[in-house]
Amino acid sequence: MTAPLSLAAARPDTHPDPRKVVVSIDGLNKFYGDFHVLRDVDLKVREGERIVLCGPSGSGKSTLIRCINRLEIAEKGTLLVNDTDLALTTRQAAEVRSEIGMVFQHFNLFPHMSVLDNCTLAPMSVRGLSRKEAEERARFYLNKVGIESQAGKYPSQLSGGQQQRVAIARALCMKPKIMLFDEPTSALDPEMVAEVLDVLVKLADTGMTMLCVTHEMGFARQVAERVLFLDGGQIIEDAPPEAFFNNPQSDRAKGFLAQILH
Amino acid sequence: MNLDALLAFFVDPDLLERYGPRFIDGLLVTGKLVAISFTLGALLGLLLALARLSNNVLLQRLSAGYIYFFRGSPLLAQLFLLYYGLGSLKSFWQDVGMWWFFREAWYCTLLAFTLNTAAYQAEIFRGSLMAVAPGQYEAARALSLKRSTTFFKVILPQSLIVAIGPLGNELILMIKASAIASLVTIYDLMGVTKLAFSRSFDFQIYLWAAVLYLLIVEIVRRSLKHIEARLGRHLR
């Protein structure tokens, strides 16, 4: 018997990170029927860390971040957010879950509500804010994403980039501690990608803990502290962007990078 | 034939004077019958749709069985079954204190119509709830919205836009099917029509009935158009 092969590139841990671990994943396994999507995934995310997840389609990157806010439920393994198991039905677990914001590839705005109502619904009904407080907060974040002037419009009256910025503002209105992004720019026309990435860069500057599934490698270089490369349901590489892009360890990451960085 | 004679052929002033007020009454009875049973049917139908879409197998089966029975048998048979069938168990209903209900043709008709339309509306609601994009549920979950908030604020308004057309169809079908209430002694629009015809033997009575049904349907059609525009205002 040989020792189990560690696929993640070894990184000498010279100075241990003092920041608090906010997401702690241990031996996570997830199946879709017979398809084994996540295989023994281990991951620690520290407060304020900005992580980009990439990898070929079907590699499990979206599933992994969807497990973090329990849109998907893993069959095996532990997943703690702020030391809390979100599978519990306690008030504390619900509270922690409500502090995880998520932005989807297809925006998923509520089409029958105005931009403002999209942003105030959850703060009012989950956080118990008054309409006035919720609207103030909504306008603050809509202003941050540069879209306050469209507050009265319906989502269908906005461009894709504008809709995605509203979706980001909507998530921020819950004052999340962690933000998850599932391919936030993949459904956008090329000329609208930049406006959404700009918002993400600004958000990263505020110290938000971010996990972002994306193929925007320029964004990864600029913003990420760590790039995770997934394939076949496993984290194959876990490295700072410079190391990952300039010196990928695995053949699969090399092949992947060769394909997307023409 | 001059113009007056032609007019009297369709709207005879004497007949109108004699039966006009009854027709107004009949119109109101039909309106009330349909309005009450359609509304109660909508509530029951929504519950049945939710039962069919739930994860509970027992609820699914019960709901599916209900819909299967009430869509699969004639409304007339259901009405007779209630009024003559259950109505014949007089002593039983007296014992359970429900005789006041099954004694009355009006209540039996309301019940039969409600149960019948609920089955059709359940299928309309089920389809329209399934038409709401899964991403909407995910967004609501990601925002930690409560299940009730998700349903009433996010899912239901969107599904109603899909449902409104078929629901309008069902309402119009109900209005016309309500004529069978006249077979169990209800003086709805068709009831008064039959009465007036049996006394006058003038065919124009049926013409009046047809025009009045048309009138109700037209009012419904216009209201639906208005509601549809309001519900779908974000789509323009």
Residues contacting residue A33 through CB under 8 Å, at least 6 positions apart = none
User: Closest partner residue to B142 among A71, A94, A109, by Cβ?
Assistant: A71
The pLDDT tens digits for A50-103 are 999 999 998 999 999 999 999 999 999 999 999 999 888 888 889 999 999 999
Mean pLDDT of chain A: 91
**pLDDT tens by residue, A123-145:** 999 999 999 999 999 999 999 99
pLDDT exceeds cutoff 90 at A5: no
Question: Contact A111/B153, CB-based, under 8 Å?
Answer: no
Confidence of residue A8 (pLDDT cuts 50, 70, 90): low
ipTM of this model? 0.89
How far apart CA A100 and CA A171 sit, in angstroms, is 8
- Count other C-beta atoms under 10 Å from residue B235's C-beta: 11
User: What is the β-pairing status of strands A234-239 and A226-231?
Assistant: antiparallel
Closest chain B residue to the Cα of A125, Cα to Cα: B145
Tens digits of residue pLDDT in A38-52: 999 999 999 999 999
Residue B164 predicted with pLDDT over 50: yes
Flag whether pLDDT at B69 surpasses 80: yes
B147 touches chain A (CB under 8 A): no
Do the Cβ atoms of A108 and B133 come within 8 Å? Answer: yes
Q: Looking at per-residue confidence, does B236 or A258 come out higher?
A: A258
- With a CB-CB cutoff of 8 Å, which residues 118-147 of chain A face chain B? 121-122, 125-126
Q: What percent of chain B has pLDDT over 70?
A: 99
Using the Cβ of A108 and the Cβ atoms of chain B, whether some distance falls under 8 Å is answered with yes
- Could you tell me the pLDDT band of residue A3, with boundaries at 50, 70 and 90? very low
Q: Is B88 on the interface with A (CB under 8 A)?
A: no
Query: In whole angstroms, what separates CA A37 from the centre of its chain?
Result: 18
What's phi and psi for A190, nearest 5 deg?
A: -55, -40
Please answer yes or no on whether B139 and A121 come within 8 Å at the CB atom.
no
Residue type, A262: H
B28 Cβ neighbours under 8 A, 6+ residues apart: none
> Is residue A94 within 8 Å of A126, Cβ to Cβ?
no
Q: Which residues of A205-214 are buried (b: 16+ CB within 10 A; e: fewer)?
A: eeebbbbbbb
| Structural Rg of chain A based on CA atoms | 19
Neighbours of B139 (CB within 10 A): 27
Which of B103, B110, B92 minimizes the C-alpha distance to B38?
B110
Cross-strand pairs, A23: A45, A81
pLDDT in tens, B4-20: 888 888 888 888 888 89
- For residue A1, is pLDDT > 50? no
For residue A162, give every residue at least 6 positions away whose Cβ sits within 8 Å of its Cβ, in sequence order, or none. A147, A150
**Which run of H or of E encompasses B126?**
helix B105-130
Which one of A110, A124, A150 would you mutate to disrupt binding with B, by most B Cβ within 10 Å of its Cβ?
Answer: A110
pTM of the model: 0.85
* C-alpha pair distances (Å), B28 with each of B15, B67, B135: 20, 29, 45
Tally C-beta pairs within 8 A across A and B: 63
Domain ranges across chain B: 3-235
Kindly tell me the burial class for residue A243, based on how many C-beta atoms sit within 10 Å of its own C-beta (0-12, 13-18, 19 or more): middle
Is the pLDDT confidence value at B87 over 60? Answer: yes
If you measure CA to CA, which chain A residue comes closest to B139?
Answer: A108
Query: What pLDDT shows up at residue A88?
Result: 86
- CB A39, CB A233: distance < 8 Å: yes
Average pLDDT over residues B60-65: 97
Q: What is the mean pLDDT of chain B?
A: 93
Element housing B12 (H / E): none
Q: What is the pLDDT of residues A157-192, one digit of tens each?
A: 999 999 999 999 999 999 999 999 999 999 999 989
Residues in CB range of A207: below 8 A, 6 or more apart: A48
Q: What is the pLDDT of residue A14?
A: 60
Residue with tokens 């393994």: A77
Q: Which of B137, B143, B158, B228 to mutate to test the interface with A (most CBs of A within 10 A)?
A: B143
Q: Is the pLDDT of residue A12 over 60?
A: no
The model's pLDDT over B98-156, given as tens digits with 9 standing for 90+, comes to: 899 988 999 999 999 999 999 999 999 999 999 999 999 999 999 999 999 999 999 99
Q: Is B89 exposed, middle or buried (0-12, 13-18, 19+ CB in 10 A)?
A: middle
Structure tokens at A142: 């809509």
Does CATH place domain B3-235 in 1.10.3720.10? Answer: yes
Quick: pLDDT tens for A202-240. 999 999 999 999 999 999 999 999 999 999 999 999 999
A122–B144 CB contact, under 8 Å: yes
Nearest partner of B24 among B158, B204, B215, judged by Cα: B215
Cβ burial A62-88 (10 Å sphere, 16+ → b, else e): bbbbbbbbbbbebeebebbbbebebee
Q: Could you say which DSSP state residue B167 is in?
A: H
Report the CATH fold assignment for A21-260: Rossmann fold (3.40.50)
B230 contacts chain A (CB < 8 A): no
Instruction: Tell me which residue in A112, A126, A154 faces B157 most closely, judged by beta carbons.
Output: A112
Residue A234 backbone dihedrals phi, psi, to 5 degrees: -125, 150
Length of chain B equals 236
| pLDDT score at B233 | 82
Could you tell me where the DSSP H helices lie in chain A?
61-68, 91-97, 115-125, 131-144, 160-172, 190-205, 217-223, 241-246, 251-260
